[in-house]
């Protein structure tokens, strides 16, 4: 089926629908930087385009079987001012529905595919979501909805979003939702034991970027560093343990080894103040949820209290997340909080240093390929890339929902 991509961002919906076999014939996006990335990532030559949905008229929009849109969530999100659906940003929903209402029945799309934050279901005591359904009903659509979490669709990020699939009533109705997924992205422990003995599986987790390209610095897994004050070296495998092996620091070269760990962190500059959820995550948990406002990073824990400058130049590290005694904000056993894109991390102890997540890692957490990211990076700054990743629809989830829509033959 053909589709139009409204409030497109960098094309999370588009990529998911295209992977499911549907064809994009045009898009609409107001943010000029997002448009740059979108045009770099996708072949948009000859497609319909508009930059401001609030200024469009119904007859200016070509026919498509599907309209998809993740309308702005700033007025709905729990992180915002809770103005609700009538807020200036989130009110764009009404502009899009009015465009549908202005179409003749035969020119209306068969499906409307809508995404927003989970809080859309409950803000203003649920009356805003009732308004969403009422507007769809007036436009001639029956609606189904479901909260889907990105962690259940192959990416290590806890990201709950409500998806609404509306079917034009005059063309019949069939069951599309629910869509089910399985959390296969969390890091799993294969062999238990103390640090240095346990073995972790990184299947389903994208590679951690290192500062050095190629070699050990660009690989993943558990790496070892000498617990030595001389000629410290990062090795792909631990050295043989001898009878002289100890747990402490030695003045002899290459005597001992220690493991480097990475811990996802949120808002480190507020260590002594309670936040909306835990700041640190466990090794078997997905990452925090990406947003367009916060920053994330990993706290790298060294094997000793002393730093190893040479190892720090190009370490590639296994993601491991320490736990927390705080219960506030937990979303479930073995599941981390939301990742965002601007919360700066800070030093947590004398044994930790902070590395901010790279834009590429954020794109990976949203299901975009490295090839797509490189195209976006060629036309935008890191600041814009962080924002775009946080605002994006997770590709994997869009793909799963798109598969449930079927094909032209099913309509």
Residues marked as catalytic: 73
Interatomic CA distance for residues 161 and 141, integer angstroms? 21
Angle (CA) 308 310 311, round 5°: 65
Closest CA to 297 of 366, 344, 228: 344
Interatomic CA distance for residues 299 and 346, integer angstroms? 8
Interatomic CA distance for residues 320 and 299, integer angstroms? 10
Strands (E) located in 185-254:
188-191, 199-201, 224-226, 234-235
How is residue 67 written in tokens?
């309209």
CB neighbourhood size of 159 (10 A)? 27
Interatomic CA distance for residues 317 and 222, integer angstroms? 6
By the 8 A CB rule, do 326 and 278 touch? yes
CB neighbourhood size of 32 (10 A)? 9
- Beta bridge partners of residue 28, listed in sequence order: 6, 50
Interatomic CA distance for residues 184 and 149, integer angstroms? 12
By the 8 A CB rule, do 343 and 134 touch? no
Interatomic CA distance for residues 337 and 315, integer angstroms? 25
Interatomic CA distance for residues 33 and 320, integer angstroms? 34
């Amino acid at each position: 089926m053909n589709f139009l991509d409204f409030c497109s961002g960098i094309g999370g919906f588009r990529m998911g629908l295209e992977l499911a076999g549907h064809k994009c014939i045009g898009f609409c996006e107001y943010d000029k930087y997002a448009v740059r990335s979108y045009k770099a990532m996708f072949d948009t030559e000859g497609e319909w385009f508009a930059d401001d949905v609030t200024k469009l008229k119904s007859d200016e929009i070509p026919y498509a079987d599907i309209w998809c849109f993740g309308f702005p969530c700033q007025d709905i999100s729990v992180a915002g001012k809770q103005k609700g659906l009538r807020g200036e940003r989130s009110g764009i929903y009404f502009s899009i529905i009015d465009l549908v209402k202005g179409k003749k029945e035969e020119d209306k799309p068969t499906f409307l595919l809508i995404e927003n934050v989970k809080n859309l279901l409950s803000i203003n005591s649920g009356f805003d979501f009732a308004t969403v359904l009422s507007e769809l009903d007036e436009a001639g659509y029956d609606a189904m909805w479901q909260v889907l979490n990105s962690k259940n669709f192959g990416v290590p990020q806890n990201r709950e979003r409500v998806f609404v699939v509306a079917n034009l009533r005059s063309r019949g109705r069939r069951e599309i939702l629910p869509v089910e997924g399985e959390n296969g992205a969390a890091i799993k422990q294969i062999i238990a034991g103390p640090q240095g003995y346990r073995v972790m599986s990184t299947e389903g987790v994208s590679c951690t970027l290192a500062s050095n390209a190629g070699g050990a610095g660009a690989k993943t897994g558990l790496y070892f560093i000498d617990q030595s004050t001389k000629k410290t070296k990062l090795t792909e495998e631990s050295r043989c343990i001898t009878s002289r092996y100890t747990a402490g620091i030695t003045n002899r070269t290459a005597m001992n080894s220690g493991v480097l760990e990475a811990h996802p962190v949120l808002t480190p500059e507020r260590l002594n103040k309670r936040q909306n959820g835990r700041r640190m995550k466990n090794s078997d948990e997905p990452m925090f949820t990406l947003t367009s406002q916060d920053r994330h990073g990993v706290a790298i824990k060294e094997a000793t209290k002393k730093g190893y400058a040479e190892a720090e130049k190009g370490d590639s590290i296994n993601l491991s997340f320490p736990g927390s005694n705080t219960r506030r904000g937990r979303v479930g056993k073995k599941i981390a909080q939301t990742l965002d894109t601007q919360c700066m991390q800070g030093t947590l102890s004398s044994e930790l240093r902070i590395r901010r997540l790279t834009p590429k890692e954020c794109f990976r957490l949203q299901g975009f390929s490295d090839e797509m990211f490189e195209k976006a990076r060629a036309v935008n700054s890191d600041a814009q890339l962080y924002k775009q990743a946080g605002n994006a629809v997770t590709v994997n989830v869009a793909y799963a929902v798109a598969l449930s829509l079927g094909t032209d033959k099913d309509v």
